[in-house]
Amino acid sequence: MSVLVFTENWDGKFKKLSFELASYASKIAEMLNTDAIALSIGNVDESELKKLGSFGVKKIINVNNEALKNLDNQAYTSVIAEIAQKEGSKVIILSNNNTGKGLAPRLSVRLKAAIGAGVSQLPLSVSPFTVYKRAFSGNAFAHLELKTDVKIITLSQNSFELIESANGASIENANVQVDGSIVKTQVKEVQKQTGKILITDAEIVVSGGRGMKSPDNWGPLEELAKLLGAATACSRPVSDEGWRSHEEHTGQTGKIIAPNLYFAIGISGATQHIAGVSSSKFIVAINTDKDAPIFSAAQYGIIGDASKVLPKLVEAVKEAKGK
């Protein structure tokens, strides 16, 4: 028996997300009186793999194969399923990000394993195995029983703390045969912006809405984000109008995020917007309308016009940071 965690890497490097997953898996392993095993697929060197060992896993399995260079859901599913079966894994953990959402459902059918998707804390109980998951797009939570022998959990990003604990982890290079012919998808081109802080990774997100009034008014908002090391985001009307790219849209149908701090500037806070950001640890709202629903979701508020408040806020941050 074991708990298996799939730890994604980005160009051979892990992110905080990978360590959150390892921490989470180790805690579940503790609840089940067993060990957590981390699986890494791709070209990751040993010193990087070792980092996973600081978060409680007992073993790190490394699968590096040319056929697995790009994410192909069928090929990756086969590898994860093979390792899970070999290691007798009773719980398999993935991130609830794009990759996890592509793989977890395929694994579910392959292994006839129930999924708890979008889980943000440890299981409520392990017998019966009941998880606490997001439902109705953040407007409610469900206690969901996973009724199968093997269970799959996808963990929401930035919802579980890092827990450092060394467990003398060993690294095993697994020789998994991958028949190249099962890879049906062919990546022709990769278009990537570098150097930009990703909304889903950011600890702080600065987001603007219709109250910004024009696509030309984002200078101070971007400056604030830069000073705070934050990512920039926007509400749906702003991306629908084409003021900002749809990749910045946070909310129910856009990106669902859980940063430590979220600035909602000129955003009134429609249910759909709140649904996408309500897991933020702290929300600051700046809005002209004191009755705007965003103030019910926020811990801190300023009633005022974004164009007047933002420059003052930028100055205050500069002062506080001694810049």
Partner 1 sequence: MKILVCISNVPDTTTKVKFVDGNTKLDTTGIQWIINPWDELSLTRALEVKDDASTGIKSVTVAHVGPATTEPTIRKALAIGADDAIRINAEPTDAYFVAAQLAEVVKKEQFDIIVCGIESSDFNGSSVGGMLSEFLGYPSVSAVSGLKIENGQVVINREIDGGKEIINIPTPFVAIVQKGIAKEPRIAAMRGIMMARTKPIKLYEPIAIEPLTQVVSFEMPKPRAACKFVDAENPKQLIELLQNEAKVI
Hey, which residues between 231 and 270 contact partner 1 (CB under 8 A)?
Answer: 240, 246-247, 249, 252-254, 260-261, 270
Q: Give the chain's end-to-end CA distance (angstroms, integer).
A: 54
Task: Identify the H or E element spanning 80.
Answer: helix 73-86
* 278 lines the binding site for partner 1 (CB under 8 A): yes
Nearer to partner 1, 64 or 237 (CB): 237
Pick 53 or 220: Cβ nearer partner 1: 220
Q: Which stretch binds partner 1 (CB under 8 A): 35-43, 45-53, 159-167, 277-285?
A: 277-285
Q: Which is nearer to partner 1, 168 or 322 (CB)?
A: 322
Q: How far is the CB of 238 from partner 1 (least distance, A)?
A: 13
Q: How far is Cα 322 from Cα 316, in angstroms, rounded to an integer?
A: 10
Helix (H/G/I), strand (E/B), else coil: 34:
coil
- Cβ 111 to partner 1 shortest distance, Å: 10
Question: Which one-letter amino acid corresponds to residue 268?
Answer: S
Cβ within 8 Å of residue 12, ≥6 positions away:
42, 43, 44, 45, 48
Q: How far is the CB of 56 from partner 1 (least distance, A)?
A: 25
User: Segment contacting partner 1 (CB under 8 A): 57-65, 91-99, 168-176, 208-216?
Assistant: 91-99
Q: With binding defined as CB under 8 A, does residue 86 bind partner 1?
A: no
Return the residue of 33, 127, 140, 181 that touches partner 1, per CB under 8 A: 140
- Interface pattern 181-210 for partner 1 (x via CB under 8 A): ---xxxxxxxxxxx-x-x-xx-xx------
Check: CB of residue 260 under 8 Å from CB of residue 239.
no
- Please give the C-alpha separations between residue 235 and each of 225, 261, 274, 306, in angstroms, as whole numbers: 16, 16, 10, 14
Please say which residue, 57 or 204, places its beta carbon nearer to partner 1.
204
SS (H, E, C) 203-237: CEEEEECHHHCCHHHCHHHHHHHHHHCCEEEECHH
Regarding 85 and contact with partner 1 (CB under 8 A), the answer is: no
